[in-house]
Amino acid sequence: MTIRVADLPYEKNALEPHMSERTVEFHYEKHHKGYARKVNDAIEGTKLQNKSLEDLIEETANDGQRRSLFNNAAQVWNHDFFWAGMAPKATAKPSGDLEALIKDAFGDLDGFKKAFVEAATGRFGSGYAWLVLADGHVKIISTPNADTPLVGDAAPLLCCDVWEHAYYLDYQNARGKFVRAFVNELIDWARVAERLKAAASPSRTHAGAR
């Protein structure tokens, strides 16, 4: 099985002016696909070469000797998830069960945005900010480097990549400006709602979460 990155769900210039075509080009073609190439190089000719991406991540997550493989595999998955959670124009605000969970956790949508920006800008170095479902409630977490809630008990619903390559060409060191553009202009709330529905299903699978 060859590990491939998911196709972008929009054109590379579709997120402008909030994310430039140049940023998407470098991020997707160089970084994202680069992680996949490293995974495929590492598993070629081994007993892992027929594993799915999700299985590779789960199998190597706590193996210090295979940390490099975990990092690259997790980065492929995290990036697939990141791209698919955005839309060229911010979709309708959360509604239904998703809106109720956000209100319960954060008071309102503005409360969510404030907490998400704080988590994303507070992450020292590289990593991600996530909205996850855990024990029937939503919460925001931050993970370092390639770490992902995919290998934990929480179901990921949304993530924002705060590695510098995600924003530096457009925002330089102003990570907060990038994250505010993300929460205000780019989130595909319809996709987040689909992920919530899948996460709440008794037959949920990690692959289906994307």
Asked whether 60 and 66 are in contact (CB, 8 A), the reply is yes
Query: CA–CA separation, 191 vs 176, rounded Å?
Result: 24
Longest dimension (CA), the chain: 52
Average pLDDT, the chain: 94
Helices (H), 94-154: 96-106, 109-122
- Does residue 18 sit in helix, strand or coil? coil
Write the pLDDT tens digit of every residue in 125-178: 999 999 999 999 999 999 999 999 999 999 999 999 999 999 999 999 999 999
Q: For residue 22, what are the CA distances in angstroms to 11, 66, 101? A: 12, 33, 36
Residues 101 and 203 occupy one common structural domain: yes
pLDDT digits (tens, 9 = 90+) for 111-130: 999 999 999 999 999 999 99
In a domain, 15, yes or no: no
Domain-embedded: residue 2: no
One domain, residues 188 and 106: yes
- 76 plus 102 within the same structural domain: no
Give whole-number Cα distances, 54 to 31, 58, 207, in Å.
Answer: 19, 6, 7
Instruction: Choose the final residue of a domain: 35, 53, 84.
Output: 84
Query: Given a cut of 70, is residue 86 above it in pLDDT?
Result: yes
Considering only CA atoms, give the Rg of the chain: 17
- Residue 56 belongs to domain with CATH number: 1.10.287.990
The residues near 121 (Cβ < 8 Å, ≥ 6 apart) are 162, 175, 176, 179
Range of the domain at 73: 21-84
CATH code assigned at 141: 3.55.40.20
Q: What percent of the chain has pLDDT over 70?
A: 95
Does 113 share its domain with 159?
yes
Does residue 195 sit in the same domain as residue 146?
A: yes
If one counts the domains in the chain, the total is 2
**Residue where one domain finishes, among candidates 84, 107, 127:** 84
The answer as to whether 119 is a domain residue is yes
144 and 59 within one domain: no
